[in-house]
């Protein structure tokens, strides 16, 4: 009997011998046995000697893909020549998928780097298998995303035994808010509304207008101040005492979004809407039931801390909370956003405490978060990067008082576990506590001169975000900086050259290159590459966002980059962020190098996607090179 290719099927014994080689690797681990057998039955075994070519641009459109059983293959020339590096495929890898799916030639020459054994699948059979196997098709179309998902699941399992959480913060509110909300019309008398609340044993009444649009809310907590103590007659329409406007979310938002909203606005209930009409209600109790250590619980403890001694204790909950979220499988972007939010809350509370002690009016200055905190991408091991903007016209005495206030806050933050910045980028330093006019002059000088120190400052200060005080001071400065940088191509080129100073740790064969201790620096050699490129392209295209993900997505769209390409940049960056968080959470706070990863500690999936992430970092730098260095 012949198969669809016209060849006799391989003997059952051969299938049995080859199958273990495949099912140890993605995507075959997730595929049905029949689909794995299809791959084997339609593949041809080949051997390539060291230096022998498997496929090259001169071969024309790709007609087959390769699965590496043993040995390694290096891609060289083509785009790889730009950086002087190659890329290595090892046992378990499939290539060249992109070229095969696009029916084009490869852009690099692939050669065996040792005795190499491969299974070769015709492109036609690849397409036939993709039509039969959703798992195989999913892998072909979003390989990096699939690896990320598998890695995240493995990490979730690894931390599950340490978790206090019972349900994921990624749960859509449409699934969480399953009970129909209790509502009343704006003209409903208070007596009737309160009687419903008492009879149904609910803590809030949503006031809805025509079409179910939320107009207000009244909670048990509001009744004391708005009704009882105010002496409002019970025949009064509820519209006169309800809280408005109401913070709402849609069914597509997540429990994380609800937790953040409750924390930021100090509320206990969030109405959930669909197409503008209220369909549910999520309470603080609902979220607390999901996780015994809740975001609201931690943030409330921070906000109500009466003094520095209490904040020192409460700050430890941030690490515990992060560990819990990691065990739930929360992604790096959400996890770093939540960590940054809690760090913001702690800093804001410290500012309130110290402002009273120093008799400082916070509304007459602006506290800036810079660096990773300004981008909303803080990990656990993070030092301080902050500054103060003062209003123009302040006296020397007022400037000294503001600097003393900033210095005191810096010391307090250090006591709470946020080390002092070794580079002195802190609000208590003379260069970081300036009136708006002097900040403008300073930023202009950096953009005008572009010296090495200016570029270093740009990498920190250009990611500014107002955290407390008069936000308009920061907004005015940021808008001016964005426009000035965009109009100065020379400065952008200098930033590009600076961003290319450190490359991804891939050797000339395309494998991961470690130091003598077998480690790589995930920050300097990894995330910093994405952060620097995102900042540069964000400035070049007038992107106001400071987050790396938002910058890459917005700039990629402006530049006409295919969505799959800039999504791969984001995926690589967020995987590196997750590895950094894992290292820091696994340590006990005494880790001397919180961003150094021991390569041997990774499992097969994580090692593969780490190499893939570094490859995307290198490709992003190649784009920088082509755009700015030629």
Instruction: Give the per-residue SS3 of 380-392.
Output: CCCCCCEEEEECC
pLDDT score of 364: 94
Backbone angles phi, psi at 95, to 5 degrees: -160, 165
Structure confidence at residue 138 (pLDDT): 78
Give the model confidence (pLDDT) of 582-608 as tens digits. 888 777 554 557 889 999 888 777 888
Confidence of residue 81 (pLDDT cuts 50, 70, 90): very low
465's tokens? 């975000």
Residue 204, phi then psi, degrees to nearest 5: -155, 160
By the 8 A CB rule, do 197 and 240 touch?
no
Please give the mean pLDDT across all residues of the chain: 85
pTM of the model: 0.64
Distance between CA atoms of 33 and 18, rounded to whole angstroms? 13
Q: Closest by alpha carbon to 108, among 488, 477, 619, 630? A: 619
- Domain-wise residue ranges, the chain: 12-141, 173-290, 295-470, 497-629
Question: Tokens 């809310």 correspond to what residue?
Answer: 217
The confidence band for 379, taking pLDDT boundaries of 50, 70 and 90, is: confident
* More confident position, 619 or 8: 619
Q: What residues contact 543, with CB distance under 8 A and at least 6 apart?
A: 537, 550, 551, 554, 555, 558
Residues in CB range of 291: below 8 A, 6 or more apart? 164, 165, 166, 167, 169, 324, 328
Structure tokens at 431: 């260069």
Q: What's the mean pLDDT in 151-179?
A: 58
User: Which strand (E) or helix (H) includes residue 598?
Assistant: strand 596-598
Residue 47 has pLDDT above 90, yes or no: yes
482 burial via Cβ count (<10 Å: 0-12, 13-18, 19+): middle
Closest CA to 271 of 244, 247, 245, 241: 247
Token digits of residue 98 = 């992109």
Confidence of residue 284 (pLDDT cuts 50, 70, 90): confident
Q: Is the pLDDT of residue 77 over 70?
A: no
Domains 12-141 and 173-290 agree in fold: no
Lowest mean pLDDT among 140-154, 162-176, 425-439: 140-154
* Structural domain 173-290, CATH architecture: Roll (3.10)
Tokens of 242: 């309800």
Residue with tokens 């209003």: 391
Nearest CA-CA partner of 583 in 194, 184, 177, 158? 158
* pLDDT of the residue at 161: 37
437-456 mean pLDDT: 92
Whether the predicted pLDDT of 1 surpasses 60:
no
Return the structure tokens found at 291.
Answer: 């996780």
Q: How many CA atoms lie within 13 A of 43 on its CB side?
A: 26
pLDDT tens profile 526-552: 999 999 999 999 999 999 999 999 999
Report the distance separating Cα 347 and Cα 341, nearest Å: 10
Q: Is the pLDDT of residue 630 over 90?
A: no
Which pLDDT score, from 0 to 100, does residue 2 have? 35
Structural tokens at position 45: 């075994």
Helices (H), 371-432: 371-375, 396-415
Q: Name the CATH topology of 497-629.
A: 1.20.120
| CA 20 remoteness from chain centre | 36
Query: Does the structural domain 295-470 have CATH classification 3.30.460.10?
Result: yes
The reported pLDDT for the residue numbered 450 is 84
- pLDDT given at position 22: 86
Which of 131-135, 260-264, 276-280, 401-405 tops mean pLDDT?
401-405
Q: What is the mean pLDDT of residues 211-225?
A: 91
177-181's contacts with Cβ under 8 Å and 24+ in sequence apart are 177/251, 177/272, 177/279, 177/280, 177/281, 177/282, 177/286, 178/280, 179/280, 179/281, 180/279, 180/280, 181/206, 181/271, 181/272, 181/278, 181/279, 181/280, 181/281
Share of the chain above pLDDT 90, in %: 50
- Rounded Cα distance between 76 and 608, Å, is 19
User: Look-up: residue for tokens 């020192």?
Assistant: 312
pLDDT at position 172 is 87
Average pLDDT over every residue of 91-97:
88
According to the model, what pLDDT value does residue 126 have? 93
The H or E element spanning position 317 is helix 316-328
Q: Please give the pLDDT value at position 200.
A: 86
Q: What is the pLDDT of residue 268?
A: 85
| pLDDT given at position 178 | 67
Lowest-confidence segment of 144-148, 231-235, 510-514, 624-628 by average pLDDT: 144-148
Taking only the tens place, the pLDDT of each residue in 104-123 is: 888 789 999 989 999 999 99
Distances (CA, A) of 138 to 3, 27, 144, 147, 608: 25, 9, 10, 11, 17
H/E run at residue 576: helix 563-586
Among candidate residues 166, 149, 176, the one with its CA nearest the CA of residue 327: 166
Residue 164 has what pLDDT? 34
Q: Where are the beta strands (DSSP E) in 440-562?
A: 465-469, 519-521
Give yes or no for residue 381 having a pLDDT over 50: yes
In percent, how much of the chain has pLDDT > 70?
A: 88
Mean pLDDT of 313-332: 75
Q: Which residue has the higher pLDDT, 283 or 588?
A: 283
Give the domain 12-141 fold. Jelly Rolls (2.60.120)
Torsion of CA 593, 594, 600, 605, to 10 degrees: -160
Position 629 scores a pLDDT of: 73
For 201, counting Cβ atoms within 10 Å of its Cβ (0-12 exposed, 13-18 middle, 19+ buried), the class is exposed
- In sequence order, the β-bridge partners of residue 388 are 367, 433
458: pLDDT strictly greater than 50: yes
């Amino acid at each position: 009997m012949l198969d669809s290719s016209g060849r006799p099927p391989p003997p059952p014994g051969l299938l049995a011998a080859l199958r273990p080689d495949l099912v140890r690797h993605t995507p075959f681990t997730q595929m049905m046995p029949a689909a794995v057998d299809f791959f084997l039955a339609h593949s041809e075994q080949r051997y390539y000697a060291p230096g022998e070519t498997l496929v090259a641009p001169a071969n024309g459109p790709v007609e087959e893909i390769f699965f590496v059983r043993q040995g390694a293959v290096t891609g060289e020339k083509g785009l790889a020549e730009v950086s002087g590096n190659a890329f290595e495929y090892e046992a378990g890898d499939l290539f060249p998928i992109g070229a095969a799916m696009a029916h084009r030639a490869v852009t690099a020459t692939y050669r065996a780097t040792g005795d190499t054994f491969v299974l070769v699948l015709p492109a036609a059979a690849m397409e036939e298998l993709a039509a039969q196997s959703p798992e195989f098709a999913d892998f072909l179309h979003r390989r990096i995303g699939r690896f990320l998902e598998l890695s995240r699941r493995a990490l979730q399992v690894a931390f599950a035994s340490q978790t206090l959480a019972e349900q994921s913060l990624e749960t859509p509110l449409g699934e969480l808010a399953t009970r129909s909300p209790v509502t009343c019309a704006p003209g409903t008398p208070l007596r009737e509304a309160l009687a419903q609340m008492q009879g149904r044993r609910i803590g809030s009444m949503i006031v809805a207008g025509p079409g179910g649009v939320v107009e207000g809310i009244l909670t048990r907590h509001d009744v004391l101040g708005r009704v009882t103590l105010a002496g409002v007659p019970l025949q009064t329409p509820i519209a006169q005492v309800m809280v408005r406007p109401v913070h709402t979310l849609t069914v597509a938002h997540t429990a994380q979004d609800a937790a953040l909203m409750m924390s930021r606005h100090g509320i206990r209930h969030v109405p959930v809407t669909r197409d503008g009409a209220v369909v549910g209600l999520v309470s603080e109790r609902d979220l607390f039931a999901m996780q015994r250590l809740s975001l609201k619980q931690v943030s409330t403890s921070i906000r109500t801390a009466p003094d520095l001694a209490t904040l020192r204790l409460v700050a430890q909950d941030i690490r515990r909370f992060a560990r819990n979220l990691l065990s739930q499988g929360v992604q790096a972007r959400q996890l770093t956003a939540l960590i940054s939010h809690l760090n913001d809350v702690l800093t804001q509370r410290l500012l309130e405490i110290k402002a009273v002690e120093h008799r400082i009016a916070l509304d007459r200055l602006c506290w800036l978060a810079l660096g990773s905190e300004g981008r909303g991408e803080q990990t656990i091991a993070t030092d301080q990067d902050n500054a103060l903007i003062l209003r123009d016209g302040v006296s020397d005495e007022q400037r000294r008082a503001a600097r003393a206030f900033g210095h005191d806050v810096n010391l307090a933050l250090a006591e709470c576990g946020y080390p002092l910045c070794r580079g002195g980028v802190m609000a208590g330093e003379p260069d970081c506590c300036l009136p708006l006019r002097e900040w403008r002059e300073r930023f202009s000088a950096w953009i005008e001169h572009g010296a090495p120190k200016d570029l270093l400052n740009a990498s920190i200060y250009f990611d500014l975000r107002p955290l407390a005080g008069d936000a308009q001071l920061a907004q005015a400065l940021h808008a001016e900086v964005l426009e000035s940088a965009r109009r100065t191509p020379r400065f952008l080129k200098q930033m590009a050259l600076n961003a290319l100073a450190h490359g991804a740790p891939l050797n000339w064969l395309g494998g991961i290159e470690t130091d003598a201790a077998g480690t790589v620096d995930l920050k300097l050699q990894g995330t910093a590459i994405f952060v620097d490129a995102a900042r540069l392209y964000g400035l070049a295209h007038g992107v106001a966002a400071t987050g790396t993900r938002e910058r890459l997505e917005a700039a990629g769209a402006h530049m006409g980059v295919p969505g799959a390409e800039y999504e791969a940049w984001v995926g690589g960056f967020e995987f590196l962020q997750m590895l950094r968080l894992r290292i820091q959470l696994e340590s006990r706070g005494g880790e001397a190098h919180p961003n150094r990863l021991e390569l041997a500690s990774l499992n097969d999936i994580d090692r593969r996607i780490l190499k893939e992430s570094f490859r995307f970092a290198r490709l992003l730098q190649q784009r920088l090179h082509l755009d700015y260095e030629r």
